Structure 1
Amino acid sequence: MAKIKKKGVSGNAKNFITRTQAVRKLQVSLPDFRRLCIFKGIYPREPRNKKKANKGSTHSTTFYYTKDIQYLLHEPVLQKFRDHKAFAKKLQKALGRGDFSDAKRLETTQKPVVRLEHIVKERYPTFTDALRDLDDALSMIHLFASLPTNENLPPATVANCARLAKEWAHYVIRTGALRKSFLSIKGIYYQAEVGGGQEVLWLVPYAFAQNVPVDVDFRIMHTFVEFYTTLVGFVLFRLYAIEGLVYPPRLDKDTDENAGGLGAFKIESRGVAGLLTAGDEEKRGEEAGKKDVSKQMTTLGAKIASLSNEDPTATAITEPEQEEGTLREDLTIDTFTLAASSSDMLPQPTLPQTTSASATLFSNTTFYLSRETPREPLEFLLRSFGCKRIGWDGVLGAGAYTEDPSDTSVTHQIVDRPPTFPSPAAEDDSAPSASATTTVGRFPGRIYVQPQYVWDCINAGRLLPPGEYAPGALLPPHLSPWVKPGEGYDPIATLPDVEHSEEEEGVEGSDNGMQEDLVSGSESEPIPTPSTTAAPIEDESSEEEDDDYQRELAAEVAGAKPPAPSEQDKKKQKKKSKAKMSRQQREEEDQKEMKKIMMSRRKRKLYEKMLYSNARKEGEVEELKRKRRRLDGGRGKGKKERRGGEEV
């Protein structure tokens, strides 16, 4: 006789564990359990049968994999949480006794520090894995860098996020890795190609005054930021090392206090770092904890000798040493020959390009940013695409190429305000003076554009004509560079005036259908006289159409959406559309209905779902076209009114 299996010892009951059971097993508090799961990348799971997973209980609960919780039992961070709990008890006891010196001593000497380096190495075994998971990390870091500090956001966290954001921007600028950018409602999207072809997309909020919401649990978000800052620090160290740069870059505090932005960081190559003294080299080795000082001291003399033989004025960056496991250890690609002359020739792989062809898009230009324009995103974009000379007003901060708006070397000026016009006295003068030029705000030989010009040029990969981006001009649509126009709505293409053509086609279709109906009716039965049948039907249909039109008109005047048609209205509309069909179209519809009947239930549901999705897409496209025609009509009317005003 087979052994009877006990209930709740196998299957879902064994594979899943509830959150309460997991907290009891790990012997930690619920906040620490959440923090540990975020660090380790463990998330709740949804079992197929909740009742079996919960051993017969039906109440709602959160489940985790039992193997994941078992894996957390040997986590070193778990011991740090327990040490912190004991430290908190000692600190609270010292504060209760009033012994503040003992409390300060405990705070400085015995407070446990959670280290996450081993978790980063566990979750990302290779450098490529870390790059693939960099999107959310960069977006979160840029978000915290723009938030104001309060009791939930420590100043050290915000400053650390701002530092990492600028270090990432410097790497993107130095390597020319930026590819696309887009201005959206949420913020500015950027896409860069780093690490030999890995695309990284991140979101940067606009530099507005942020109101910190009160209904957000910043403890959970701070846990994510704590892990993401460690991850981005590892990634930046590796990226800077691949490019032969010193990490972290040196920060100029005076420039940073004067709102220097990107100019506050000084990027150095490894050749400059090799000229450091022995004491400085030893101090850097102790702080990093990664380098062997003894090995560096033995090779320091050879490095200095090799550098002294070279040209001291050379500024080229030295290539990093070939280390085992780096991305540049062997980038040669094997060549393959055809086994037979009749075989197909497949495209051969190519090496990933580190920089794009448009990295020097603005290399021959000098930009000047007006004080009303956003300096940080424009400076980042222009420097990423080759512009070395960027000036701005002194109120925007230090580090500008020029602060003089009348500098003759400026080729493009970005403005974001309505155009100004000269006074009547200046217009009457035959020779315009310097005051007239100042009143107009224009300098000869300079191109004035709005900020969108920079984004559209980058996405297009070329310098666009600046006429459409003149100050005060109606800007062209700013489209996402990641959405390609397909068979649906294309916002770039011009729409023909199809209102009259649609009405004419509808009239011709109804006439043709009526003629075919008359011909088919004459063969089978006599045509009914208009006085008996046709007139009441036409009157009824016209009355229904008038009622529908009046309801839609009333809803439009009230500013509300038109009422959704009921089931009866849909059936009537379907009957009317079928009555307007020709004989051949009705036969095709009947054949489709017969084919649907012969389908299996699964295929029929799939077919109906496909028809529904296609109809929905067509409806969305038609709605966008209708809005486009309405906007184009309003613009045309506005232009006529403006022209009329000018004529008057």
Structure 2
Amino acid sequence: MPQIKKKGTSGQAKNYITRTQAVRKLQISLPDFRRLCIFKGIYPREPRNKKKAAKNSTPATTFYYTKDIQYLLHEPLLQKFRDHKALSKKISRALGRGEVGDAARLEKTQTPRLTLDHVIKERYPTFVDALRDLDDALSMLFLFANLPSTAAVPPKTIERCQRLCLEFEHYLIISHSLRKSFLSIKGIYYQATIQGQDVLWLVPYKFVQRITSDVDFRIMGTFIEFYTTLLGFVNFRLYTSLGLVYPPKFNAASDEQGGELGAFTLEGRNVGFGSQEIEASIAPAQISNEPAPEVQAKVDSIAKVSEPEGEDAVAETQDGEEVSDKIDTFEAAAPDADILPQPQFSGNEVATLFAPYTIYLSRETPRAPLEFLLRSFGCKRIGWDAVLGDGAFTNNEADTSITHQIVDRPALPADALPAVPETKDGDAQPGVRPGSRVPGRTYIQPQWVWDCINAGKLLRPDIYAPGATLPPHLSPWVQQKKGQYDPTAPLAEQEREGEAEEVEEESDVEGEEEQEAGVADVDDNAAEEEASDEEMNDLGAADGMRVAGSSDEESDEEDEEAGDNEWAGVEEPEEEDSDDEDEAEKARKQHQAELEAEAAGLPYNANENGKGKKAGKKQPSEAKKRATKKRREEEEELERQKMMMSRKKRKVLDKMIYSNRKRDEEAEKLRSKRRKIEKEAAKKATK
């Protein structure tokens, strides 16, 4: 007879373990268990059947894999946690005895130091694995670099985060690895390509941050402790791959004056290799963004062998066709096909985007992101006012070498500008008057820098002039799909067939209705004025103020005549007969008009020949008729196709049609808004 299997010893009951059981098995406290799980990358799991995993236990609990907890039994950090617990007992015992000096000596000399180097090597066996997990690390470190120092966030942590982030930005600047950036409500998004891996992170705006009490900074501090170690390893590997010394030299005096990026000095590993020669020696073409440089070298050698002889950029093939070095563009085979991804520009072109310019940042512009972006794309000469910090190319706004100035204020009249302060001698201080413009200099808004980077080329600066309405700032990571509204494309290319004519007809009908409503309002006002005049005349008559030949006398005469007719008693039947004859004549004419309209194949409009009545509706245009006919034919064809489908496929098709219809309605609403805005702008331009 086989042995009976005991309940709870196999299956999910064995594969999962509760958090309480894990803490007891590891013999550490709950906060230490949380720190250990964050360091090792172990997270709670959700079993398929909680009842079986909990062995019929009803309370809600957190589960972990049993193998993960067994893996933690051999972690060297456990011994550090136990040493720290033993030290805390010794310190509390010394304080209980009143031995404050011994307690301070124990805390200073015997505190265990946690090192996470072995954890980084275990979790990221290759450098590419570390780059793939760098998104969250950079977002968290840039967040803590902008936080104010409190009891929960010590200043040493903030300083370390700032230094690591600035070192990482220096690598992106010198390697030209930055690709795209986007301004959002949350902050500024950046994307860089490092050894073939795309890294995307978020940097918050430099506003005053308020620390709330509902955020557990102990857990976030644990993540920061791990991420700082990770980014330190990554920065070391990146710097050494370019032949640079890590860490770079740090100037504390410049950092205290707000130098930020300017407080670091990069140096090469070779003797006599200065920081000024680094960027000249490391060209963008020499920087490899591929994970395997040996493979890339072999590919380049094969490409050189396969190239035809000759130094000309354009060569002739055997068929007589010309081959050029221009970038090929891929076009869709069918009009309804998806948009094919186009080839990007080379790193040399984008890396030197702002190289030939000297750019000055006004005081109201965000200096830190603009400096980082401009330096990443080749600009070597960036100036700003001395109040923004140290490290500028020039602090003089009147410098003649400045070609572009970034401002974020509209153009003000001369009367609204403040006066220039004077020196002790009575002369005006040298420089540019606030709000004035230097001839020969291009003034632009900060969005120009972001749009040029995302477009990969220099855009027209007049569109981004101070005070001008800026174009929409769109995310560079959103790919436009067919049927969706594209704010960059012309409105005529996105409209469906007959949409513009329908909108024009609706606007014409609305305009006619408004005009008729205005005429009706005028008639009502005139009638009210006449009624008010009659009331005034009646009041005047009551007061004995009658004038000869006035309307009151005429009305009295009419009343007398009406009284005579009433006494005659002969006229009323004749008037009723005439009214019946008029109604019969109207009915006969209406019947004749209906017959004529039916013979001509047109709809009958009873008000088209009426006098003083509302005109009929405008006939639909040919484009609208064609669009309606085409839409009806497509619906009929779709219904015929649905008849041949199964019930399951028909439901899926109905869901697709519903979602497409909702998408088209949203796109049509956005197009109508844009159409109104363009019409208003055209009216203002004509005025």
Q: TM-score, normalised by structure 2?
A: 0.68
Structure 2 counterpart of 1:492 = 488
Structure 2 counterpart of 1:40 = 40
Q: What is the root-mean-square deviation of aligned Cα atoms in Å?
A: 3.6
Q: Residue deviations 1:123-178, cap 9 Å, x none?
A: 00000110111111111100000000101101110000000010001111111111
Structure 2 counterpart of 1:410 = 402
Q: Offset of 1:87 from its aligned partner?
A: 1.2
Q: Residue deviations 1:514-571, cap 9 Å, x none?
A: xxxxxxxxxxxxxxxxxxxxxxxxxxxxxxxxxxxxxxxxxxxxxxxxxxxxxxxxxx
Change (3 A) 1:153 1:356: farther
Structure 1 counterpart of 2:11 = 11
Is the CA contact (8 Å cut-off) linking 1:364 and 1:387 kept in structure 2?
A: yes
Aligned-partner Cα distance in 2 for 1:131–1:106: 40
Change (3 A) 1:164 1:435: closer
Aligned equivalent of 2:393, options 385, 392, 401: 401
Q: Residue deviations 1:163-197, cap 9 Å, x none?
A: 001000111111111111111111111111112x2
Q: Residue deviations 1:270-308, cap 9 Å, x none?
A: 024xx8xxxxxxxxxxxxxxxxxxxxxxxxxxxxxxx9x
Structure 2 counterpart of 1:599 = 647
Structure 2 counterpart of 1:547 = none
Structure 2 counterpart of 1:562 = none
Aligned-partner Cα distance in 2 for 1:411–1:361: 14
Q: Offset of 1:627 from its aligned partner?
A: 4.2
**Aligned with 2:161: secondary structure?**
helix
Aligned pairs for 1:187-586 within 5 A: 187-195=187-195, 197-272=196-271, 328=293, 331-333=296-298, 335=302, 355-423=347-415, 438=433, 441-487=436-482, 488-496=484-492, 498=499, 500-502=501-503
Consecutive unaligned residues of structure 2, counting only runs of 5 or more, are: 284-290, 307-327, 329-343, 418-427, 509-627
Q: Residue deviations 1:89-128, cap 9 Å, x none?
A: 1122222322221111111111111111100000000001
Change (3 A) 1:21 1:250: same
2:148 equivalent to 1:156: no
Change (3 A) 1:59 1:610: farther
Q: Offset of 1:583 from its aligned partner?
A: 8.4
Greater Cα shift, 389-398 or 435-444: 435-444
Structure 1 counterpart of 2:105 = 105
Write the letter of the residue equivalent to 1:618. D
Aligned-partner Cα distance in 1 for 2:414–2:359: 24
Write the letter of the residue equivalent to 2:187. G
Aligned-partner Cα distance in 2 for 1:317–1:91: 56
Aligned-partner Cα distance in 2 for 1:583–1:268: 72
Is the CA contact (8 Å cut-off) linking 2:357 and 2:402 kept in structure 1?
A: yes
Write the letter of the residue equivalent to 2:468. A
Aligned-partner Cα distance in 1 for 2:452–2:388: 24
Write the letter of the residue equivalent to 1:208. F
Aligned-partner Cα distance in 2 for 1:237–1:397: 28
Q: Residue deviations 1:1-46, cap 9 Å, x none?
A: 4433222222211111111221121112221111111111111111
Change (3 A) 1:635 1:251: same
2:84 equivalent to 1:89: no
Aligned residues: 506
Aligned-partner Cα distance in 2 for 1:314–1:582: 67
Aligned-partner Cα distance in 1 for 2:166–2:434: 38
Change (3 A) 1:198 1:595: same
Write the letter of the residue equivalent to 2:490. T
Aligned-partner Cα distance in 2 for 1:421–1:436: 19
Q: Offset of 1:505 from its aligned partner?
A: 10
**Aligned with 2:270: secondary structure?**
helix
Percent of residue pairs bearing the same amino acid type: 60
Q: Offset of 1:633 from its aligned partner?
A: 5.5
Aligned-partner Cα distance in 1 for 2:346–2:73: 43
Aligned pairs for 1:43-192 within 5 A: 43-192=43-192
Q: Offset of 1:60 from its aligned partner?
A: 2.3
Aligned equivalent of 1:625, options 636, 650, 671: 671
2:22 equivalent to 1:30: no
**Aligned with 1:167: secondary structure?**
helix
Is the CA contact (8 Å cut-off) linking 1:421 and 1:439 kept in structure 2?
A: no
Is the CA contact (8 Å cut-off) linking 2:161 and 2:228 kept in structure 1?
A: yes
Is the CA contact (8 Å cut-off) linking 1:50 and 1:58 kept in structure 2?
A: no
Q: Offset of 1:613 from its aligned partner?
A: 3.4
Write the letter of the residue equivalent to 2:163. R
Q: Offset of 1:238 from its aligned partner?
A: 0.5
Consecutive unaligned residues of structure 1, counting only runs of 5 or more, are: 276-306, 320-325, 339-346, 426-432, 508-578
Change (3 A) 1:106 1:327: farther
Change (3 A) 1:624 1:31: farther
Structure 1 counterpart of 2:527 = none
Structure 2 counterpart of 1:575 = none
Aligned-partner Cα distance in 1 for 2:213–2:680: 42
Is the CA contact (8 Å cut-off) linking 2:345 and 2:456 kept in structure 1?
A: no
Write the letter of the residue equivalent to 1:110. Q
Change (3 A) 1:506 1:377: closer
Is the CA contact (8 Å cut-off) linking 2:265 and 2:275 kept in structure 1?
A: no
Aligned-partner Cα distance in 1 for 2:281–2:678: 54
Aligned-partner Cα distance in 1 for 2:68–2:95: 39
Change (3 A) 1:80 1:611: farther
Structure 2 counterpart of 1:530 = none
Q: Offset of 1:79 from its aligned partner?
A: 1.5
Q: Offset of 1:421 from its aligned partner?
A: 2.7
Is the CA contact (8 Å cut-off) linking 1:417 and 1:471 kept in structure 2?
A: yes
**Aligned with 1:333: secondary structure?**
helix
Change (3 A) 1:441 1:583: closer
Structure 2 counterpart of 1:520 = none
Q: Offset of 1:395 from its aligned partner?
A: 0.5
Aligned-partner Cα distance in 2 for 1:368–1:359: 20
Is the CA contact (8 Å cut-off) linking 1:175 and 1:354 kept in structure 2?
A: no
Change (3 A) 1:629 1:354: closer
**Aligned with 1:270: secondary structure?**
coil
Change (3 A) 1:619 1:165: same
Greater Cα shift, 495-504 or 461-470: 495-504
Q: Residue deviations 1:212-237, cap 9 Å, x none?
A: 22211111111111100000000000
**Aligned with 1:38: secondary structure?**
helix
Structure 1 counterpart of 2:590 = none
**Aligned with 1:448: secondary structure?**
strand
Aligned-partner Cα distance in 1 for 2:375–2:85: 49
Is the CA contact (8 Å cut-off) linking 1:135 and 1:202 kept in structure 2?
A: yes
Q: TM-score, normalised by structure 1?
A: 0.71
Aligned-partner Cα distance in 2 for 1:400–1:267: 17
Is the CA contact (8 Å cut-off) linking 2:143 and 2:203 kept in structure 1?
A: yes
Q: Offset of 1:68 from its aligned partner?
A: 0.9
Structure 2 counterpart of 1:517 = none
Greater Cα shift, 95-104 or 377-386: 95-104
Is the CA contact (8 Å cut-off) linking 1:246 and 1:270 kept in structure 2?
A: yes
**Aligned with 2:664: secondary structure?**
helix
Q: Offset of 1:504 from its aligned partner?
A: 5.5
Aligned-partner Cα distance in 2 for 1:503–1:424: 44
Q: Offset of 1:439 from its aligned partner?
A: 6.3
**Structure with bigger gyration radius:** 2
Is the CA contact (8 Å cut-off) linking 2:397 and 2:431 kept in structure 1?
A: no
Write the letter of the residue equivalent to 2:356. N
Greater Cα shift, 498-507 or 364-373: 498-507
Q: Residue deviations 1:389-414, cap 9 Å, x none?
A: 11100100111111111000000000
